[in-house]
Structure 1
Amino acid sequence: MRCGLIAPAGGRLRHSHPDLQVRVRECETAESMDLLVAGEVDIAVVEPIEDGPPPDDARFEQSPLLEEPHLMLVPADHPLARAASVRLEDAADEDWIVSDPGACDHAQRVRMLCAAAGFSPRIVHAATHWPAIWSLVGNGLGVSLVPRLAEGPAGQAVARMPLSGGNTPTRRILTCVRRGSRRNPLIDLGIRALEEAARDHEPRNDRPRFAA
């Protein structure tokens, strides 16, 4: 899901520094940190997780990259798709679709956010990847909560609805490097490219967005 930042950053680097080799490896946060420690990658783009390294971990330098809102994903013909924005509690009676608990902490996040909104979500379906969630929602099997950068395949009849309310859920994304390595000019170049990509994705007056 973080490829919405990494791919544009990599493209920038290929264009501005054609002699620089850019290699991308998609994996979960825990594996990213292991690869960083092993020296197999130089920059990890991660979400903080419960069992992840604390911000003051002496092995790493972690810096905020982006904080993005979550959107509610609903079928395009759902009554909520006609609203300017929705609240989590508006979907209290809906079937919910989440990522498989073994893939990421999406299910836990949905439960926690819905509990804060005053209800327990009726989780009916679990999928491993965002495209599967898009397909399940697009075929009317439920609703989901997705980060703004998450994308699904074209052709799915879904609407991504901005959330209203006092505690709009967000997702934090960090860059992480081995401590001291930020002084490496190539690593610094990579982080700057990621920061430029993040600025391109800053929210601008969200409105319901449809895909079909």
Structure 2
Amino acid sequence: MLNLERLRTLDALARHGSVSGAAEGLHVTTSAVSQQMAKLEREVGQRLLAKNGRGVRLTDAGRLLADHAARILSQVALAQSDIEAQRGEVVGEILLSAFPTAARGLLPEALRTLRADHPDLRVRTREWEPEAGIRGVIRGDMDLAVVLDWSNKRLPVPGGLARAHLLDDVPDIAMPAGHPLAERAEVDLEEFADDEWVSWPEGEFCHDWLMFTLRSKGFEPRIAHLVGEHHTQLALIAAGMGVCVTPRLGRGPVPDGVRLVPVRQRMRRHVHAVWRADADRRPSIRAALAALGAAADRATGEMPS
């Protein structure tokens, strides 16, 4: 009979594409992955891995068995969800990820609620960008991820995942207090065509969104500074280093010397939670969604209008 843990190792190899990636995803050593695969090869009587340069690749038999392993593990997860749902207890462990402003603006309140209402549930969190969070849920490294997209640039959610809307976030334009538009009630993005911009790092979803949005307004933005942390972005604005888009969720105190002005044509970030559909009935997932929803309602009520 095939060993479930060895099938899990094969599935991780297929999903991550390397022994080191599988080891990281399974939270074991690379040696443990190699040992499990050697045992699985002896069980099936065929080579499942072949050398590929410095790495390895799945053989035809390996890919065939990996496809079966993915379906078996999905069915096991579904069975676990049904058993937990029948028992109805919120226990065990759940792994959550959230992008930075949600990690700051939603997770503390949600975790406080979960600890108070479900003391036997262990929650572990990671701060991950939206794309990494979705990949983590697909791979099984995360149970639930808080992600975002924009009203004019959606983040694809692959099949097999479920999604729940948490809140809409309306960002502002941050500029130095001495900027010619600092006292305006509203601004248009086109009015900043000659300004330098502070942006999220290249390759991140929000950087791609910013470039797409500003170019759609008819100008090529001059990106002077690439910074991932919003408080650092605002510190650069306070120093007169340009302008930036700054979300309201998780914003916290704004430095002296910075003015925030809404955009006339409102930009919106849509914040969602995503999880594997085959885990939909797990009480821990339901409890986490409820806690995140309550935290989102509170955060929405505390945002400046």
Q: Shorter chain as normaliser: what TM range?
A: 0.7 to 0.9
Q: 1:47 to 1:9 in 2, by over 3 A?
A: same
1:160 matches 2:293 = no
Higher mean displacement: 124-133 or 150-159: 150-159
- CA-to-aligned-CA distance 1:68-106 (integer Å, 9 cap, x gap): 21210112333322222222122222111101114x122
CA shift, 1:204, in A, is: 7.9
More helix by share: 2
2:227 alignment partner, one of 124, 127, 132: 127
CA shift, 1:35, in A, is: 2.2
Amino acid at match of 2:136: L
TM-score, length-scaled by structure 2: 0.59
- CA-to-aligned-CA distance 1:5-44 (integer Å, 9 cap, x gap): 2222112222333333222110122322232233332111
Aligned residues of 1:9 and 1:194 also touching (Cα < 8 A): yes
Distance 1:15 1:203 in 2: 22
User: Once the two structures are aligned, what percentage of the paired residues are identical?
Assistant: 31
TM-score, length-scaled by structure 1: 0.82
Q: 1:204 to 1:10 in 2, by over 3 A?
A: closer
Equivalent in the alignment of 2:280: 182
Superposed CA RMSD: 2.6
Distance 1:169 1:147 in 2: 10
1:2 matches 2:84 = no
1:45 matches 2:146 = yes
1:26 alignment partner, one of 127, 133, 142: 127
1:15 matches 2:113 = no
CA shift, 1:147, in A, is: 2.2
SS at match of 1:183: coil
Count residues in correspondence: 202
Aligned residues of 1:68 and 1:203 also touching (Cα < 8 A): no
CA shift, 1:64, in A, is: 2.0
SS at match of 2:275: strand
Amino acid at match of 2:214: C
Q: 1:205 to 1:171 in 2, by over 3 A?
A: closer
Distance 2:255 2:303 in 1: 25
Amino acid at match of 2:288: G
Distance 1:163 1:94 in 2: 16
- CA-to-aligned-CA distance 1:38-58 (integer Å, 9 cap, x gap): 333211111249896x44x33
Name the larger-Rg structure: 2
1:199 matches 2:297 = yes
Distance 1:71 1:203 in 2: 17
Equivalent in the alignment of 1:89: 190
Distance 1:120 1:203 in 2: 36
Unaligned segments of structure 1, at least 5 residues: 208-212
Distance 2:236 2:185 in 1: 23
Q: 1:117 to 1:58 in 2, by over 3 A?
A: closer
1:145 alignment partner, one of 230, 245, 265: 245
Equivalent in the alignment of 2:215: 115
1:172 matches 2:251 = no
Aligned residues of 2:249 and 2:303 also touching (Cα < 8 A): no
